[in-house]
Amino acid sequence: MLACVGLPSWAQGGFPCQPLKCSTLLPSLPVDDPHTNDCAYRAGNLWWVDYVAGSLEWTAKPVQKPVIVAVFDDGADIDHEDLRNQLWTNQAELNGRPGVDDDGNGYVDDVHGWNFVDDTPDVSPPEQCRGQVSHGTLMASLIAAQRNNGVGIAAPGSDAVRLMIIKVVGCGSHTRDALDPKRLTRALEYATRMGARILSFSSHWYATTPELDRAFAEVADRPGSPRAAIVVASVPNRGEPAAGYPAAYPFRRIVRAIPIGNDDRISPGTSPAPFGLNLGAPSACVIGAAAPPEKYRVEQGSSNSTAILASVLAGIWASPAYAKLTPDEFVAGVVRKRMSMTPRRSKPGSRPPYDHGVPLADACILATKERSARVCRSQEPPTGKRANELQRNTAGRDGGQEP
């Protein structure tokens, strides 16, 4: 059973896994609803789903226009049971001829993204990564995992997301596998040209080039750019003295993920970040997809926060109320005005700029346009069979143990 119990040795850093008393919110759809049947969620381990996204009510209706989210990572296992139906697909290539660049974008057979490490359309983690952590597979699942399919987990944005896989890093320690500015510049160009509106970076780097800086400025800063997108950037939490790029860019369309434990506390090792759109998102004790032979695993860290935040933003953006907004309008009117003004804040961190805490990425407030998350609590105590069911679920959810 997937549980935050007896964590193996790889689950280190960040926060200790705490008992799963993570959320006082009840999702607007009951967790035992037959349409919310992802087993990890039922087992009470997706504590962050109801924490950040329990009220993404619009996902009960078909999403008209999903948001394309590009995950910049080491690739992803696109055959995974919780990912395979969630992928962005380049129809021209899917229905085109193998070996031919059917849409003339300079990339042959780019059906679900591109592998910028090897310059191939194969975005899967390479063979030697199997059995190890495929970081990108985990991130992809936190952004897009399919809900209501009876297996695994559900991402906050789920139905609202189409996932573009952008492989920019290998899985080995060879320098060829490291993040490379030239490769990143090309990848940014590709993702935004092919329609990605949210770019998720669960990574950071310190070395940059003028070309890469210009590419990020175009995507994440220049008002009205045809290639405008929202960049969700991780802020590391292992005591690094600075956040690194892309979080360090002071750009208007950068949203930074601040890692939060399930006690609403900022990770003590979180690096300072520029002032701006810094939103707390869950980092600790999060279950995501893994490449074979594992199917799911529990991980900690600021990477998780980034992917979850990207998913929450996509879920909100795809909702009928906001679906027509441009990236600049969405950032100004929703992320800046609503999410940054939320009274739901983390506990204060021990040092600037976190000494007043950070706003928590709480979709509840946006869903209801209320200024308090309390509206998402059940108004009436449930009775009869429903009460018994809820009680069983709650017991499951709170039943985790510390490692």
Provide the binding-site residues for Ca ion, judged by CB under 5 A: 38, 82, 93, 96, 100-103, 105, 107, 109-110, 146, 149, 152
In the complex with Ca ion, the residue whose CB is nearer, 74 or 93, is: 93
Contacts 24+ apart (CB under 8 A), 1-6: 1/43, 2/40, 2/43, 2/45, 2/287, 2/296, 2/298, 3/43, 3/45, 3/400, 4/45, 4/285, 4/298, 4/400, 4/401, 4/403, 5/400, 5/401, 5/403, 6/401, 6/403
Find the shortest distance in angstroms from Cβ 207 to Ca ion: 30
Report the alpha-carbon distance of residue 74 to residue 139 in Å, rounded: 10
DSSP 374-394: GGGS-SS---HHHHHHHHHHH
Find the shortest distance in angstroms from Cβ 104 to Ca ion: 7
In the complex with Ca ion, the residue whose CB is nearer, 73 or 82, is: 82
Residues with Cβ within 8 Å of 363's Cβ and at least 6 positions away in sequence, in order, are 52, 53, 54, 55, 56, 156, 312, 315, 316
Task: Report in angstroms the alpha-carbon separations of 148 from 39, 119, 140.
Answer: 9, 35, 17
In the complex with Ca ion, the residue whose CB is nearer, 70 or 358, is: 70
Find the shortest distance in angstroms from Cβ 403 to Ca ion: 25
Secondary structure of residue 37 in the 3-state scheme: coil
In the complex with Ca ion, the residue whose CB is nearer, 132 or 149, is: 149
In the complex with Ca ion, the residue whose CB is nearer, 149 or 208, is: 149
In the complex with Ca ion, the residue whose CB is nearer, 193 or 337, is: 193
Find the shortest distance in angstroms from Cβ 151 to Ca ion: 5
SS3 content of the chain, % helix, strand, coil (to 5): 30, 15, 55
Report the alpha-carbon distance of residue 227 to residue 237 in Å, rounded: 30
In the complex with Ca ion, the residue whose CB is nearer, 1 or 224, is: 1
**Residue 226 contacts residue 193 (beta carbons within 8 Å):** no
Find the shortest distance in angstroms from Cβ 95 to Ca ion: 9
Report the alpha-carbon distance of residue 59 to residue 238 in Å, rounded: 35
| β-strand partners of 114 | 166
**Residue 159 contacts residue 98 (beta carbons within 8 Å):** no
First to last CA, the chain: 15
Find the shortest distance in angstroms from Cβ 160 to Ca ion: 15
- Residue 100 structure tokens: 């031919």
Find the shortest distance in angstroms from Cβ 90 to Ca ion: 7
Find the shortest distance in angstroms from Cβ 42 to Ca ion: 11
Largest CA distance in the chain: 64
In the complex with Ca ion, the residue whose CB is nearer, 109 or 218, is: 109
In the complex with Ca ion, the residue whose CB is nearer, 73 or 93, is: 93
Find the shortest distance in angstroms from Cβ 267 to Ca ion: 27
